[in-house]
Structure 1
Amino acid sequence: MDYMIGADIGTTSTKSVLYDMNGKVIAYANKGYQLYQDTPDMAEEDPEDIFDAVVEVLGQVMRKGNVKPGELKGVSFSSAMHSLILMDENDKPMTRAITWADNRAAKYSEELKENGLGQEIYLKTGTPIHPMAPLSKMLWLKNEKPDLYNKAKKFIDLKTYVFFRLFGVYQMEYSIASATGMFNIFDLKWEKQALDLLEIDESRLPKLVEPTDSIKGINANYGELLGIQQDVPFVFGASDGVLSNLGVNAIDPGVVAVTIGTSGAVRVVVDKPVVDPNGRLFCYALTKDKWVVGGPVNNGGIVFRWVRDQLFGPEKITAEQMQVSSYDILTQIAEKIPAGSDGLLFHPYLGGKRAPIWNAYARGSFFGLTRQHTRAHMVRSALEGIVYNLYMVMLMIEGVAGKPKSIQATGGFARSSLWRQMLADIFEQDVTIPESFESSCLGADVLGMYSLGYIDDLSEVKNMVGVTNVHHPDENNFEVYRELLPIWIRLSKVLAPEYKSIAEFQKKHMKEHQEK
């Protein structure tokens, strides 16, 4: 047997899947790690924890699959975007990995937006100006931690760190680079205007390589530990978002991938870089000939978890005692409420907001509450609010990529028939649920096979992705949503001027409570 490994370095865990050359899953491993949130805006992880997780899951699938010498043909990587690690002159981390969810650069993002420089840089890089981006993170460090910033030898991301530990090189592929805010997506080079702003030169950033490039000669100690020979190529791969599109076969024009896990995104593939004149959409590389346009949302499954924990605590405990999913119980409760939640609207901005409003200060709200509304209305309204937000992102994508032809839905939410039907009703589109397991890992696997010459075209993924079912829009429901969506959108604009005020109030009083 010949095998490939697709690995995904995620925000909360690293996953590894061993595939045969037809894309069949042979073995799977997953290892989580801690997220450090010492302050409300912080979201960091230990690079060593993540590297250890990568080594562990690679070793697990090799052992589970009983892979013999010569059978492993390659390893290909997916990774979360927007992470930042500062390395010292001895090639040791000076910081934890600052993740996409870290919000401490909010002030500097706002300043970039207000002075117009941010828009100029966005139009060259395709990365919206937001605290998530390494550009903003580095600007924050430059101004608030100058000693640390000036001592840094290299500014890198999680995947670059993993490859450095395994191969001793600082190299970053175009896909991760295109999510930094410092990479010119038209010239495929580090963007001078961004580097001038940060007062650094290219020597302090990794060398740029293509997502299909590979490297051999794994560190002998790790090779022996993993059972991976020196001649096995490691493909640099791409980011988790764009590989998720590939992994669900959403790479043809007009085929949209909607993903909801902890966070979420709406994405479509185009054949050349495209930017939004208003700076609201990202444009990230899959390969140098395929680009993914879309918008990420902060608040997906994390909102559902909040509803469960804060509004349905007793039901959660009962579910655990009965050894059934508390989320299944919540969706059963929500199914009893009609579409539109009897006019109860929810803005799911519990953790700031990326697309479509790109406001780190955004806060959540229920609107339209009456005495007739129940907790059941609130859970359905929360689910609908998540999908309304995704729909707003889709409207922006239509402006640059045209109306979608079909939707592929993935992520933890895709297990819920209620959510899938909501998506079909609100988007007024058929929604297909691919059978593929761990779409970013499969995307990494397919990109790796293409890179190494085992398949001739990325479209071969269609033979590896099954279809479980298709949901069609319910006319009775989408008529209701047509009435409510304009209200929901107008309301989000009305509330926007007060988001910063309430966020600053919360931050101030939270700090006072902590000091007491």
Structure 2
Amino acid sequence: MGQRLEASTTSAKTMLFDTESGVLAVRSRRFEVDGPDSAVRDGDAIYTQMMALGRESAAGRAIDLIVLSGTWHGLTLRRADLSPVTPVMEWPYTGAQDLCARLRADQEFMWWFYERTGCMVNAIYPVFKLLHLAEGGHDLDGLLALDQSSLNFARLTGEVWTNPSLASGTGLLNAHTADWDAEVIARLGLEGVRLPELRSATDTAPLAPDAAVLLGLRPGIPVLTPGPDGGLSQVGDLATEPGDMTFSMGTSGALRFSTLHPSLSPTLSTWSYRSPVGALSGAATSGCGNCVDWAKERLFGSSTDYAEIEPLLSADKRSLPVFMPFLFGERSPGWQDQRRGGLLELQPQHSRADMYQAVLEGIVYSLYHCYKELTALNGTPRRIVLSGGVLSSPYWTQLTSDVFGAQMEVSSRQHSSVVGAVRMGLRSAGLDERHPALDDAAPRIVAPRLERREQYDEGFARYLDHYSRTLPGAGEGAR
């Protein structure tokens, strides 16, 4: 039996999988985070909470393999004994936004960095978080740079390892060689920073005795190098062949296109990372489900359930406000981490339901903007697999298909990154990654309503107009 442990953006998750019986058991628990900013977290507290949930789920079970997953783009500085120098700055942390704005003014540097790493000059990336810390007076020499998942692996095994898939989201990995990029490191003056050893996505290290005590398991159990949830979703949904696209609409939004080789945009609008099994061409937004949560809380209050709002939504509504979903800055396609969001074209007759619906539309238009950049680069995907919190809203799911004008497979896997981690565990054990318990349900298909094409084309044009007029530094429209 295998156990999968994840430290996601908001929750600890665990999954048990029995290869013989096919039994799946998934549990999750929201992290308790001190302080008002959940983008900056105590990495050791996150590890402890993840391990506590893992111990509960594995109680009385014989575990033969542990697999790990988490998020891209986190950074914590650690001493050699793994004691903390900084908390974990997760992907929403934007402390380096002013530094990145200055660097983006240098077109030569921006192109050079993008073509080497597949990453844009943006505050989300650990490389710029490191520069921000150095600029603030931190001495980085001799310190170890990790993300939460690599920290978890190090504490579980005593080995300071990561793999190219997780490392591809740092801005320090060469997109073409899948090795740490010595030229980038040298140009940015980061030679003194220690980076984890790069190992294969199927490599394992034995569970250390102290971690075994925390989990209530025997020491020596193989622990798989950690993977990023985005890359593992590609594996979980069996979307690893060129032309396969996964489309995740959770806390953030992401479109990931499997490609044969790294794919770089001539407009600098997309990124090139790696899944555990190959290259990914993608685009991601910082504002998705987090914007929906914000809107529900502000407009309806915490006591209102999302299901109560659903009947108030209608595709027949016209002249809604326009929502710019940049409450947490912008990633793709413009990479303006200083961009701000909000509702525009508000009129006295607009109800709170109208504003909430505008939020859903604005998020989808932003992701459609990303989609158009991706398809201009890679062509039309042969299939699109939709997953995430969007599926809990029939209105929002249909709206997404309508705006994209594309047929979408609804992922039958509630936790596709969890399933991806299980598949990688099966691979590392030399087993077939396909299993009846993981692949027994035929996908549901959502088809676009062609009669809505003109309506949403007009809505997208309105969105693009406000997008161009709210570019940071664009004059009156930027304020």
TM-score computed with the length of structure 2 as normaliser:
0.93
Q: Supply the distance in 1 between the matched residues of 2:452 and 2:35 (Cα, whole angstroms).
A: 40
From the superposition, tell whether residues 202 and 209 of structure 1 become closer, same or farther in structure 2 (CA, over 3 Å): farther
1:501-512, aligned counterparts within 5 Å? none
From the superposition, tell whether residues 16 and 386 of structure 1 become closer, same or farther in structure 2 (CA, over 3 Å): same
Secondary structure of 1:55 counterpart: helix
Which one of 308, 311, 317 corresponds to residue 329 of structure 1? Answer: 308
Partner of 2:39: 43
Amino acid at match of 2:403: I
Q: Supply the distance in 1 between the matched residues of 2:440 and 2:203 (Cα, whole angstroms).
A: 25
Partner of 1:134: 126
Native 8 Å contact 1:406 1:429 kept in 2: no
1:205-284, aligned counterparts within 5 Å? 205-216=195-206, 218-284=207-273
Native 8 Å contact 2:320 2:350 kept in 1: no
Partner of 1:62: 58
TM-score computed with the length of structure 1 as normaliser:
0.86
Amino acid at match of 2:465: R
Identity of aligned residues (%): 25
Partner of 1:429: 406
Would you say how many aligned residue pairs link Structure 1 and Structure 2? 478
From the superposition, tell whether residues 144 and 197 of structure 1 become closer, same or farther in structure 2 (CA, over 3 Å): farther
Shift of residue 498, structure 1, vs aligned partner: 4.3
Native 8 Å contact 1:23 1:442 kept in 2: no
Partner of 2:114: 122
Partner of 1:18: 16
Secondary structure of 1:122 counterpart: helix
1:288-437, aligned counterparts within 5 Å? 289-313=277-301, 316-317=302-303, 319=304, 326-335=305-314, 338=316, 341-437=318-414
From the superposition, tell whether residues 76 and 499 of structure 1 become closer, same or farther in structure 2 (CA, over 3 Å): farther
1:79-98, aligned counterparts within 5 Å? 79-98=70-89
Structure 2, unaligned runs of 5 or more? none
Native 8 Å contact 1:259 1:265 kept in 2: yes
Q: Supply the distance in 2 between the matched residues of 1:177 and 1:373 (Cα, whole angstroms).
A: 46
Which moves more between the two structures, 423-432 or 251-260?
Answer: 251-260
Partner of 1:509: none
Q: Supply the distance in 2 between the matched residues of 1:222 and 1:399 (Cα, whole angstroms).
A: 47
Structure 1, unaligned runs of 5 or more? 320-325, 506-516
Shift of residue 334, structure 1, vs aligned partner: 1.4
Instruction: Say what the alpha-carbon RMSD is for the aligned residues.
Output: 2.4
Native 8 Å contact 2:338 2:472 kept in 1: no
Q: Supply the distance in 1 between the matched residues of 2:274 and 2:110 (Cα, whole angstroms).
A: 20
Secondary structure of 2:86 counterpart: coil
1:168-187, aligned counterparts within 5 Å? 168-187=158-177
1:416-495, aligned counterparts within 5 Å? 416-455=393-432, 464=439, 466-467=441-442, 469-495=444-470
From the superposition, tell whether residues 91 and 301 of structure 1 become closer, same or farther in structure 2 (CA, over 3 Å): closer
From the superposition, tell whether residues 48 and 461 of structure 1 become closer, same or farther in structure 2 (CA, over 3 Å): farther
Shift of residue 132, structure 1, vs aligned partner: 0.8
Native 8 Å contact 2:234 2:275 kept in 1: no
Q: Supply the distance in 2 between the matched residues of 1:372 and 1:29 (Cα, whole angstroms).
A: 44
